[in-house]
């Protein structure tokens, strides 16, 4: 495994570490009188934590060149995010680091398949290059499905040879979520080749198998896939746990599964669970937090605090074979978080590699004071649309009277499918806001092919206007929902004029959040992006939107691997059948 271990393993360095560990030499820094959370023994010990360089020398009674009396405040390992798509924060990696490190996160395992679907190898290399400039350890899982399916048009392809090259790259921990679960279960040769190459390197493979049960689940796991973050019910999670999977309990900005799945966790099995966010919007990062917010909620729901901490420290470290991370123990990296308590998880200090990098959730500095972004790795323009071929009209289809409609479900990325009679005017099916029946369209934006699909959606609730975005999992084509064709066109053009991002157009005016990095991320600080998102969401509420996170919900309506009905530039997709279906029934 090609992981960077940032420690000096020379004889001289080890001798110096041992001198400090034995107490024969003062440590560089000692955190005195601390309540140390031990994730191995599941207990809290009052002791000093001695640091030598970027490593922990020992836990006990130590003196140091510098000493800080913590007065019984809690010290836990730096928090580790086991599954996140940084792109979904809408922040460039260095801006994401600025947002989460003060919240106690010191390591993340990201799956950069969002940017890979736009820019391919260059996108993954961009994420890894940015990681080098941050005070956050960012490891990557290699995107396994680019494109995610044959049912959409992506901006790039990661072939088997590309995946093999990336698996050997520094900072890579394994193969990212295998969304093509039908291809896995039924033995598609290309899918199995990717899995086989990963297993041959003794690297882990993350799963993505919503609703997969019984013998199909057994086949999916037999292929070497050993985790899942798509469980939505206790029964589903229990079956996958019994099949040997790590269960990643997701609590993101849209998909929230913590309350449903937490009753499954017990002292006997908690070592097989991780708390993850998957997708986290910038406003949530700023106002609620990151893993600290999930910890607060988990404990409030009744989970033991140390068990909860294990699920964001040692469990992900063991799952991804992250050496010397995830615990406070001799020889481990000095990634530490000082907390006021184990209920509210208020972060007072964050140490990364033995250095204080944030105090009282204040600003954190990039490595060596740099703010390089690696943007020169990426191609330029990423929104290319043949506007002459954009047409939102939906003509009536012969004698057929009903249409398939995407029904949204609050706080979930799954949808349901409904068949209803549309409202018709002048031979065209039109939006009917009084019935909460809006138009939805996906426009191919990578190659200007002219591909687009029109359909209908329920659940947004607004009565006049349109919203659009280039954040549309997984291929990130341009998606737009609206009450009127002209407003939809205006919202789509506003996104393109900003080289990607979010837009809203209504009678009261228009607003945009530019995301010029691959149409997914901004180089602006998190607070600015959060304010921009808050402003556009507030305007959406004024427009009558019923859901809390309309743009996060919108982003998943083009995801053809999550049941039941979704829409891509190639058509309406019945995910349960894994095929396109006609709009008219």
Q: What is the CATH number of the domain that holds 144?
A: 3.20.20.140
Q: What per-residue confidence (pLDDT) applies to 372? A: 52
List Cα–Cα distances, 394 to 102, 425, 474, 536, in angstroms. 49, 10, 25, 28
Q: Is 28 a member of any domain?
A: no
Q: Is 351 a member of any domain?
A: no
**Does one domain contain both 276 and 397?**
no
List Cα–Cα distances, 19 to 15, 150, 465, in angstroms. 6, 59, 68
**Does one domain contain both 549 and 449?**
yes
Q: Which of 276, 298, 314 is the last residue of a domain?
A: 314
Q: Is 199 a member of any domain?
A: yes
Q: What per-residue confidence (pLDDT) applies to 548? A: 82
Question: 10-residue block means of pLDDT along the chain (585 residues)?
Answer: 68 97 98 98 97 98 98 98 96 95 97 94 89 88 91 94 93 94 93 96 96 97 98 97 98 91 98 96 93 98 98 98 96 97 97 95 69 65 93 92 93 88 96 97 97 97 96 95 97 97 94 96 95 94 91 91 93 93 96
**Does one domain contain both 435 and 305?**
no
Helices (H), 147-213: 160-167, 181-185, 189-200
Closest CA to 24 of 55, 58, 53: 58
164, 197 Cβ separation under 8 angstroms: yes
**Does one domain contain both 172 and 305?**
yes
**Does one domain contain both 406 and 504?**
yes
In the chain, the number of structural domains is 2
Q: Which of 267, 283, 314 is the last residue of a domain?
A: 314
**Does one domain contain both 161 and 303?**
yes
**Does one domain contain both 295 and 428?**
no
Give CA–CA dist 512/469, Å, rounded.
Answer: 10
Its domain, for residue 551, covers: 387-581
**Does one domain contain both 280 and 415?**
no
Q: Is 263 a member of any domain?
A: yes
Q: Is 91 a member of any domain?
A: yes
Instruction: Report residue 193 CA to chain centroid gap.
Output: 26
Contacts of 248 (CB under 8 A, 6+ apart): 82, 83, 227, 228, 229, 273, 274, 275, 276, 278
**Does one domain contain both 309 and 391?**
no
Q: What per-residue confidence (pLDDT) applies to 182? A: 87
Q: Which of 314, 345, 368 is the last residue of a domain?
A: 314
Does a cis peptide bond (omega within 30 degrees of 0) precede residue 474? yes
Q: What per-residue confidence (pLDDT) applies to 398? A: 83
Closest CA to 520 of 83, 96, 82: 96
Q: Is 71 a member of any domain?
A: no
**Does one domain contain both 93 and 185?**
yes
Q: Is 282 a member of any domain?
A: yes
Q: Is 85 a member of any domain?
A: yes
**Does one domain contain both 284 and 396?**
no
**Does one domain contain both 265 and 392?**
no
């Amino acid at each position: 495994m090609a992981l960077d271990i940032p420690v000096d393993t020379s004889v001289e360095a080890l001798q110096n570490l041992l001198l400090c560990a034995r107490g024969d030499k003062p440590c560089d820094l000692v955190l005195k009188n601390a309540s140390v959370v031990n994730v191995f023994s599941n207990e809290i010990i009052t002791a000093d934590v001695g640091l030598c360089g970027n490593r922990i020398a020992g836990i006990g009674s130590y003196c140091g060149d510098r000493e800080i009396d913590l007065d019984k405040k809690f010290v836990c390992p730096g928090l580790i995010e086991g599954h996140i798509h940084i792109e979904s924060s809408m922040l460039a990696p260095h801006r994401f680091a600025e947002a989460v490190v003060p919240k106690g996160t010191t390591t993340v395992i990201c799956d950069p398949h969002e940017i890979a679907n736009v820019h391919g190898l260059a996108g993954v290399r961009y994420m890894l290059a940015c990681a080098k400039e941050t005070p956050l350890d960012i490891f990557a899982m290699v995107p396994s499905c680019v494109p995610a399916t044959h049912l959409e048009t992506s901006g790039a392809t990661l072939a088997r040879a590309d995946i093999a090259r990336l698996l050997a790259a520094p900072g890579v921990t394994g193969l990212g979520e295998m969304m093509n679960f039908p291809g896995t279960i039924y033995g598609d040769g290309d899918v199995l080749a990717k899995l086989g190459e990963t297993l041959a390197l003794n690297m882990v493979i993350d799963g993505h198998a919503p609703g997969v049960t019984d013998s199909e689940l057994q086949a999916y796991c037999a292929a070497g896939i050993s985790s899942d973050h798509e469980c939505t019910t206790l029964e589903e999670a229990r079956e996958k746990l019994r099949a040997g999977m790590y269960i990643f309990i997701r609590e993101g900005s849209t998909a929230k599964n913590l309350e449903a799945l937490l009753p499954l966790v017990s002292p006997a099995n908690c070592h097989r669970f991780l708390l993850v966010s998957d997708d986290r919007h910038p406003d949530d990062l700023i106002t609620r937090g990151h893993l600290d917010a999930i910890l607060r909620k988990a404990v409030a729901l009744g989970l033991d605090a140390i068990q909860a901490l294990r699920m964001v420290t040692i469990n992900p470290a063991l799952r991804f074979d992250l050496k010397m991370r995830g615990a406070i123990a001799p020889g481990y990296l000095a990634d530490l978080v000082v907390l006021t308590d184990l209920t509210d998880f208020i972060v007072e200090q964050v140490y990364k590699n033995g250095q204080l990098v944030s105090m009282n959730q204040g600003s954190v500095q990039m490595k060596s004071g740099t703010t390089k972004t690696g943007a020169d790795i990426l191609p330029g323009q990423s929104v290319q649309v043949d506007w002459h071929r954009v047409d939102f009209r939906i003509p009536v289809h012969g004698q057929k009277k009903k249409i398939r409609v995407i029904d949204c479900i609050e706080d979930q990325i799954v949808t349901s499918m409904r068949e209803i009679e549309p409202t018709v005017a002048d031979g065209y099916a039109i939006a009917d806001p009084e019935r909460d029946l809006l138009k939805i369209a996906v426009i191919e934006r990578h190659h200007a092919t002219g591909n687009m699909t029109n359909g209908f959606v329920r659940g947004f609730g607004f009565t006049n206007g349109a919203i659009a975005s280039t954040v549309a999992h997984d291929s990130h084509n341009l998606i737009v929902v609206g009450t009127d064709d002209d407003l939809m066109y205006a919202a789509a053009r506003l996104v393109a004029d900003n080289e990607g991002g979010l837009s809203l157009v209504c009678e009261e005016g228009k607003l945009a959040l530019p995301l010029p990095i691959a149409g997914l991320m901004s180089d602006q600080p998190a607070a600015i992006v959060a304010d921009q998102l808050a402003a556009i969401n507030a305007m959406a509420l004024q427009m009558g939107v019923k859901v809390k996170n309309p743009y996060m919900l919108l982003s998943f309506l083009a995801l053809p691997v999550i049941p039941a009905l979704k829409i891509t530039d190639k058509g309406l997709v019945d995910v349960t059948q894994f095929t396109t279906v006609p709009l008219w029934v």
